[in-house]
Amino acid sequence: MKIVFATNNKNKIKEIQSMLPPSIEIISLESIGCHEEIPETADTIEGNAIMKANYVTEKYGFDCFADDTGLEVDALNGEPGVFSARYAGEQKLAEDNMEKLLLNLKNEANREAQFKTVITLNLKGEQYLFTGIARGVITLEKIGDEGFGYDPIFRPEGYKETFAQLSLATKNTISHRGKATQKLISFLNQNSN
């Protein structure tokens, strides 16, 4: 089965392809000639995932899946949430986003947070949603060199290391994206005939 993953983020493509069986091949947006920026203007994580999947299906005619992820910090009433990628501005720089978040939490005792991923799958004219949540805490400083985004400041429940210190294999089993992707993979395996 070939399916389009509606993202230009090569890290996400690599991470998800590493979790898929060889029978499912991810096709990039670049491969289908989609070079424009897909709108992400919904006010929820679910809404953005649906918007991106529908854009590819409607404009290019492919079965596809799209994800949206947000970091929701309890003490900040769910911020940065849907604005996680551009929390510190439209330049979408992970370093700037982490600095802003650490600054906003400087005087907060409650550092609990969760990563939430929603994957929307458009397959054979039907739409399905898969959600993954990873609870944890925001650390006081950046630790680790692996991963991307907020990984260096997020320590998942039950671990002493941040996402940026864990191997990709370990992260894939416990992360928000890993959990949502496992639900997607189970579904695709059952419906790939």
DSSP 15-76: HHHTTS-TTSEEE-TGGGT--SPPP---SSHHHHHHHHHHHHHHHH---EEEEEEEEEEGGG
Active-site residue numbers? 68
Q: Using CA atoms, how far apart are residues 3 and 177, in angstroms rounded to an integer?
A: 18
